[in-house]
Amino acid sequence: MIKGKLVEESSTRKLCAILSADVKGYSLLMGQDEVATVQSLKSYREVIAAIVLQYRGRVVDSPGDNILAEFASVVDAVECAVAIQREIKVRNAELPEDRRMKFRIGVNLGDVIKEGGRLYGDGVNISARIESLAEAGEICISETVYDHVEKKLPLAYEYLGEHEVKNIEKPIRVYRIIAERKPLGEIEDKTKEKLQLELDELGRKREELDTQKVQTQGKERVLREALDYIDLAGRIVETIGEPMVVLDKDLRVVLAIPSFYKTFQATPEETEGRLIYELGNGQWNIPRLRELLEDIIPKNASFDDFEMEHDFPVIGRKTMRLIAKRIVKHGPTSNLILLVIEDITVQKRAKETLTRAHAELEERVNERTAELVQKTRELSRSNAELEYFAHVASHDLKEPLIVVSGFLNLLSRRYARKLDDKAKTFISQALDASVRMQKLIDDLLSFSRVSTQGKEFEATDCNLVLDQVMKDLQPAIEESRARIFRDPLPSVMADPVQLARVFQNLIGNALKFRTDSPPKVHIGAEGLDHELQIFVKDNGIGIAPENLEKIFSMLERLHSSEKYPGTGMGLAICKKIVERHGGRIWVESEPGKGSTFFFTMQTADK
Ligand code: ADP
């Protein structure tokens, strides 16, 4: 072994593959024919050197029958060894038995020292030792070589066990290449098998590549879609009207959307990366808001109803509603807070105005209702009082009136001869007045009885009611030489006595308020939805338009009782009866031509 110190300056140390070959039985051959042996060794050396060169190796200076070659690649070295043995085998076959030269070859991968074109070192010694283990025409390799070529070369190997090498501490594990010994078919089979394996492997790799390609294409598509979505999201965000900010767990602004900057007239430089409660003039520095925001990430809390009013810089006094919730995203800052700020100033003001208006309205409605209740109460009280008065008056007045008219009658009869004409006229006028008064009291009594003594409604045949009325009015009809036209009428739901009273008053008036020509009265009806509209039409004096409504009031008369006798209660009683039946009454008239009175009644279901 060459000591490092001696060769240090002119030598280089490196790791390389060493092929060592020598001639089996060289001394014997030399003994037989020294010249011929040296000759053939020379030609073999040349052949071997050429093969070494083919495999990118280099023959180094070596003594006697030994040939040393170095290779940068272990595979090249072993393939070269195989090629050498094959070539020598061919050459030997052409030579006579005694001239044949067989080589043993050892290949090792190890450290060598190169000096002056020669190789030394453990690597060289080990290759020489391995070579000595090979038979003539064989190749042995060290384990370091085996490890490199075992999977790469289509050869077979046989493990020869561990072998000591002089001056080397650890024994060397040695393999023999036996591929060359196998029958050709077997080698081919092996090669085929190996090829098949490689083909399979290639197939698998290809499949893997195809899968990867598909996956990559899929990923590309997903990525493209994701980018589209991001682009879309960006455009959507730009259109969002409500200002929004994203905060991190320390309540620092991570980002804000354009509407935030627009609304608060702020810039990203003075916003992003700053704590929310430091923004603007400290508008968000509200202890309660801070508490709520600080709870969002740890407690996964949210809120949507935090209202605040503030004098914001630039935009002035505004009411805002804040909505906040936790958002979770992938990545290092996974927990964030989304804060949406809604300007509700206009809504709030509108709501306040509305609430105020509503309250005012309610107050006025209440006042008005109270007034109405009061008025209704007063009205019903005065109605009740009136009815009571009418009732009492008619009863209580009737009696003294009877007494008065009784005495007047007595006076005119008993003192007829003692009284002069003037006194007789006075007494007769007083008697007329008491009769009128009697009539008035009766009418008042009838009026008050409409509601107090009315009967239940029943299906009432209007024709029968009208027959009776006609009978009662017969003297007046005859006296006025009136012509009555009657249409057949249906049944209605009514109190028959009260319905008769209505017909009597209306037809009576038609006869009474006549012109010089004989009256013509037409009674008919028109059926409406669940209702019957009955009319009484005359050709009388008619009514001026301004009086069309007031004639239905109590005691309203348009003429003196001398010209047209009456109390002014008839139409008031009619109105009260019709209204009790849920109907309406009105008149259409043309002065001088006649009037038509209409009233409605519920039709009786057949
Ligand atoms: P009265 O008949 O006792 O005067 P009413 O209440 O029946 O009282 O009628 C009120 C007033 O309406 C009458 O005084 C009269 O001026 C007017 N009137 C009623 N019916 C007719 C009619 N058919 N034609 C013209 N005027 C009428």
What atom of ligand 1 comes closest to residue 557's alpha carbon?
14
What is the whole-number distance in angstroms between the Cα of residue 389 and the centre of ligand 1? 24
Mutate which of 504, 521, 557, 561 for ligand 1 pocket (most atoms within 8 A of beta carbon): 557
220 shares a domain with 160: no
Domain count, the chain: 4
Categorise residue 316: left if φ over 0, alpha if ψ from -120 to 50, beta otherwise: left
pTM: 0.44
CATH of the domain at 393: 1.10.287
Most confident of 210-219, 353-362, 449-458: 353-362
What atom of ligand 1 comes closest to residue 564's alpha carbon?
4
Give residue 8's pLDDT. 44
If you average pLDDT over residues 111-122, what whole number do you get?
Answer: 84
526-573 pLDDT, tens digit each = 988 788 999 999 999 999 999 999 999 877 778 777 778 888 889 999
Residue 231 inside a domain? The answer is yes
pLDDT at 327 over 90: no
Q: Which domain holds residue 528?
A: 458-602
Lowest mean pLDDT among 26-30, 147-151, 248-252, 381-385: 381-385
What is the whole-number distance in angstroms between the Cα of residue 568 and the centre of ligand 1? 7
What atom of ligand 1 comes closest to residue 569's alpha carbon?
6
329 shares a domain with 264: yes
Question: What is the rounded distance in angstroms from the CA atom of residue 487 to the CA atom of residue 508?
Answer: 18
Give residue 237's pLDDT. 67
175 shares a domain with 267: no
| % of the chain surpassing 70 pLDDT | 92
Give residue 2's pLDDT. 41
560 shares a domain with 547: yes
Query: Backbone phi, then psi, for 323, in 5-degree steps?
Result: -125, 130
Fill in the amino acid letter for 372. L
368 shares a domain with 342: no
**Largest Cα span, the chain:** 217
435 shares a domain with 418: yes
Mutate which of 450, 509, 521 for ligand 1 pocket (most atoms within 8 A of beta carbon): 509
Residue 453 inside a domain? The answer is no
Mutate which of 446, 513, 575, 599 for ligand 1 pocket (most atoms within 8 A of beta carbon): 513
560 shares a domain with 515: yes
Q: Distance between alpha carbon 424 and the CA centroid of its chain, in Å?
A: 102
pLDDT at 363 over 70: yes
Question: What is the rounded distance in angstroms from the CA atom of residue 148 to the CA atom of residue 198?
Answer: 17
Residue 6 inside a domain? The answer is no
Give residue 230's pLDDT. 67
Among the three residues 181, 214, 235, which one is the final residue of a domain in this structure?
181
Give residue 223's pLDDT. 72
What atom of ligand 1 comes closest to residue 510's alpha carbon?
23
The SS3 of residue 280 is coil
CATH of the domain at 107: 3.30.70.1230
- Ligand 1 shell residues, CB under 6 Å: 505, 509-510, 513, 538, 540-541, 543, 551, 556-559, 566-572, 595
Helix count (H) and strand count (E) of the chain?
Answer: 14, 20
What is the whole-number distance in angstroms between the Cα of residue 573 and the centre of ligand 1? 12
Residue nearest to atom 16 of ligand 1 (CA): 558
If you average pLDDT over residues 266-289, what whole number do you get?
Answer: 89
Give residue 7's pLDDT. 39
If you average pLDDT over residues 272-299, what whole number do you get?
Answer: 89
Bigger pLDDT: 396 vs 597: 597
If you average pLDDT over residues 467-476, what whole number do you get?
Answer: 95
Residue 575 inside a domain? The answer is yes
Among the three residues 312, 346, 380, which one is the final residue of a domain in this structure?
346
- Tell me the β-bridge partners of 16: 110
Residue 586 inside a domain? The answer is yes
Provide the mean pLDDT of the chain.
Answer: 85
First to last CA, the chain: 143
pLDDT at 3 over 50: no
CATH of the domain at 537: 3.30.565.10
Residue 3 inside a domain? The answer is no
Residue 1 inside a domain? The answer is no
What is the whole-number distance in angstroms between the Cα of residue 513 and the centre of ligand 1? 7
What is the whole-number distance in angstroms between the Cα of residue 509 and the centre of ligand 1? 6
Contacts of 301 (CB under 8 A, 6+ apart): 292, 295, 326
If you average pLDDT over residues 396-414, what whole number do you get?
Answer: 84
Contact 535, 554 (CB under 8 A): no
Give residue 238's pLDDT. 67
160 shares a domain with 94: yes
Among the three residues 399, 420, 448, which one is the final residue of a domain in this structure?
448
CATH of the domain at 268: 3.30.450.20
Q: Helix 570-580 and helix 496-512: axis angle, to 10°? A: 150
Bigger pLDDT: 242 vs 523: 523
Bigger pLDDT: 347 vs 109: 109
Question: What is the rounded distance in angstroms from the CA atom of residue 545 to the CA atom of residue 539?
Answer: 16
pLDDT at 330 over 70: no
365 shares a domain with 338: no
Residue nearest to atom 7 of ligand 1 (CA): 570
Give residue 567's pLDDT. 84
What is the whole-number distance in angstroms between the Cα of residue 478 and the centre of ligand 1? 20
369 shares a domain with 333: no
Give residue 43's pLDDT. 87
- Here the tokens at position 182 are 């196998």
Residue 512 inside a domain? The answer is yes
237 shares a domain with 143: no
113 shares a domain with 99: yes
Q: Band of the pLDDT at 499, cuts 50, 70, 90?
A: very high
Bigger pLDDT: 443 vs 173: 173
What atom of ligand 1 comes closest to residue 566's alpha carbon?
3
